[in-house]
Amino acid sequence: MNLKLRNPLTFFDLETTGTNVVNDRIVELSVVKVMPNGETITKTTKVNPTIPIPHETSLIHGIYDEDVKDLPSFKNIAKSLAKFLEGSDLAGFNILKFDVPMLVEEFLRAGVDFDISKRKLVDAQKIFHMMEKRTLSAAYKFYCNKELDGAHSAEADTLATFEVLMAQVEKYEGQDMVDNLGKKIGVVKNDMQALHDLTSSNMVDLAGRIILKDGVECFNFGKHRNRSVVEVFEKEPSYYEWMMKGDFPQDTKRRLTEIKLRAFSKLTGK
């Protein structure tokens, strides 16, 4: 079938130095511009991000500093890219949460006006998540090929989850599990420590406000996302007070206090 288009629809995907829209940069951009008459124009280009590409990120997308060191920066191509995208709606997978914010941020840094307010944005991931249910009943049907009678009663849901986990281990045992960036995070095993490591090992507080990154406790929200909790408290002590007075769960506040006291003990040697 052909998409019914009034305007060109440009599918795009970005490879970047990381996932922080403010601090990270684009290293590769691929676009497929679909015209109303069905014609497609495909362009892919790498750019110099002007900052180092972390090795762990290069391992995911295969682009290293050496590959882009002599290429133009995004700022150098921003005007021509904006011209190419002029009058075009935008589409992609997970573009609303990441690709569009990242692209707009790069345009703003380059001093190029890229207004998305009059463009239609189509995210295939949103359609996927809305149409393919991710409830326990759907998982029970998918993994166990059974209908979940009595859904939302505690006992029925608990027993169904037990069956689902057994079916998941049987189906995926020995297979690699990857995160949203395609990075391997472990192997599915019939072992509770291994399953914990896959699903919960980076948790610090139960609300997910603090997570472990390479063994370091980091904030997982707000202006200090991905920054070490200890580093933030050292440079901005008032942030601790703000969180302790804020509308955060007691568990989060308890973990923050533990981290703060531990750091203080190391500093004083007590």
SS3 assignment, position 125 = helix
C-alpha torsion sign, points 91, 96, 97, 102:
positive
The whole-model pTM stands at 0.63
- Phi, psi angle pair for 157, to nearest 5°: -65, -40
**How do residues 36-94 score in pLDDT, each as one tens digit?**
998 999 999 999 999 999 999 999 899 999 999 999 999 999 999 999 999 999 999 88
Rounded Cα gap, residues 146 and 127, in angstroms: 25
**How do residues 86-130 score in pLDDT, each as one tens digit?**
999 999 988 988 899 999 999 999 999 898 888 899 998 887 876
Rounded Cα gap, residues 106 and 109, in angstroms: 5
Please give the domain boundaries of the chain with CATH numbers for all domains: 9-128 (3.30.420.10), 136-199 (no CATH), 210-268 (no CATH)
